[in-house]
Amino acid sequence: MNIVLVAAEAIEHARVTFARQMRSITLMELGLTVINGFLIVAVIGYAIVRALRERYARAQVADLYCRPGRRCEHPARERRSPITQEQQRC
């Protein structure tokens, strides 16, 4: 066999192998990017839900803390909608 033909065949085989490997790496990177996007959306959504639940929980704690006959000094009570002085005294 001619040495040039053997070398050309080896180069072609290396090129095909490299292209196949790059395709598989590209697919893996695409998959990881999609999974990472879902993870980011899930974490942000969970944080928003937790923040909203905590906000309502603080208001409930303030309502429980401010019973009749006690002065309301709980910090969560101040974060709610504007309250008159009359309503602030429990």
Q: Which domain holds residue 75?
A: 3-88
**What CA–CA distance (Å, rounded) separates 68 from 61?**
15
SS3 content of the chain, % helix, strand, coil (to 5): 80, 0, 20
Q: Count the domains in the chain.
A: 1
How confident is the model over 47-54, as a mean pLDDT? 82
Position 69 pLDDT exceeds 70: no
Average model confidence (pLDDT) for the chain? 79
| Residue 11: pLDDT band with limits 50, 70, 90 | very high
Question: Taking the model in full, what pTM does it have?
Answer: 0.51
* Chain mean position to CA 40: 3
pLDDT at 43: 92
